[in-house]
Amino acid sequence: MSNVHLISHPLVQHKLTLMRRKDASTSTFRTLLNELSNLMAYEVTRDMPLQDIEVETPLETTTGKIIDGKKLVLVSILRAGNGFLDGFLNVVPGARVGHIGLYRDPETLSPVEYYFKMPQEMQERDIVIVDPMLATGNSAIAAVDRLKQLKPRSIKFVCLLTCPEGVAALQKIHPDVAIYTAAIDRQLNEHGYILPGLGDAGDRIFGTK
Ligand SMILES: O=P(O)(O)OC[C@H]1O[C@H](OP(=O)(O)OP(=O)(O)O)[C@H](O)[C@@H]1O
Ligand SMILES: O=c1cc[nH]c(=O)[nH]1
Ligand SMILES: [Mg+2]
């Protein structure tokens, strides 16, 4: 699959397996997601552009390299995306943050938007969308559709878990959007849940079921 980055680092795979366990508590699930998002953020930001700056060490002046974190916008798809956000902000603390509120209608599996708030001057920014789950792909496609209207420089989509159906759907409509994931599971079930998956990410993060 082109434009799909599978993050196979052993620490990522280990933590993902612990998160899948049905008896993982809310607190364990949330802690693992936070740790995982730190690790995944390293991979996702690997190609961030660097600038040269002059820096004075205690001994002499030299040229160092820095990133411009302000050009990066992390866009969280509410609610579950917020569980992913903190780890990214740990790695790039200067990043701007946007929020899109979307929930899946349980009957139609179509996304319903209830919130949208982005930073200014999106044409100058690179977007990283974060959401733990890419299932049918409907939510991700709706988010990218909406964000492309703002003409950002680039868009990446980061999830913890996806399936062949979700990857194919997002890539068909938005082939330019790189997908980063820790696993591509077997399939979707008839209710749009990923198998074997980890259940409902939002409910597990926030303890709502
Ligand atoms: O690829 P899709 O089939 O669209 O499914 C993925 C979406 O489902 C979950 O959100 P959910 O609708 O459960 O909302 P929540 O985060 O508020 O729980 C998940 O966090 C994604 O946003
Ligand atoms: O398996 C799934 C599919 C969509 N949303 C989730 O939280 N889990
Ligand atoms: Mg949910």
Q: From the CB of residue 50, how many other CB atoms can be counted at a distance below 10 Å?
A: 10
Which residue from 163, 161, 169 is spatially nearest to 186, judged by alpha carbons? Answer: 163
> Among all chains, which residue has been given the structure tokens 């302000």?
70
Which tokens is 46 given? 């690997």
* ipTM score over 0.95, yes or no: yes
How many domains is the chain built from? 1
> What is the sign, positive or negative, of the torsion defined by CA atoms of 188, 191, 196, 202?
positive
Distance, CA of 54 to chain centre: 33
If pLDDT is split at 50, 70 and 90, which confidence band does 46 have? very high
142 CA to middle of ligand 2, Å? 16
Its domain, for residue 57, covers 4-206
Provide the CATH number for the domain around residue 13: 3.40.50.2020
Looking at the predicted structure, is the pLDDT value of residue 127 above 90?
A: yes
To the nearest whole percent, how much of the chain has pLDDT over 90? 96
pLDDT band, residue 209 (cuts 50/70/90): confident
Atom of ligand 1 nearest to the CA of 81: 20
Q: Judge if the beta carbon of residue 111 lies within 6 A of ligand 1.
A: yes
Whether 108 is catalytic? yes
The one catalytic residue in 96, 104, 125, 204 is 104
Ligand 1 atom closest to the Cα of residue 131 is 20
3-state secondary structure of 121: coil
- Give pLDDT tens digits for 157-195: 999 999 999 999 999 999 999 999 999 999 999 999 999
Determine the angle formed by the axes of helices 138-148 and 164-173, rounding to 10 degrees. Answer: 20
Rg (CA), the chain: 18
Does 142 count as an annotated binding residue? Answer: no
**Which ligand has the shortest distance to the CA of 78?**
1
Residue 92 is predicted with a pLDDT of: 93
- Does residue 123 surpass a pLDDT of 90? yes
How buried is 57 (Cβ within 10 angstroms: 0-12 exposed, 13-18 middle, 19+ buried)?
A: exposed
**Ligand 2, CB within 6 Å, residue ranges:** 133, 135, 192-194, 197, 200-202
- Encode pLDDT of 53-80 as tens digits: 999 999 999 999 999 888 999 999 999 9
On whether 137 is known to bind a ligand per the annotation, the reply is yes
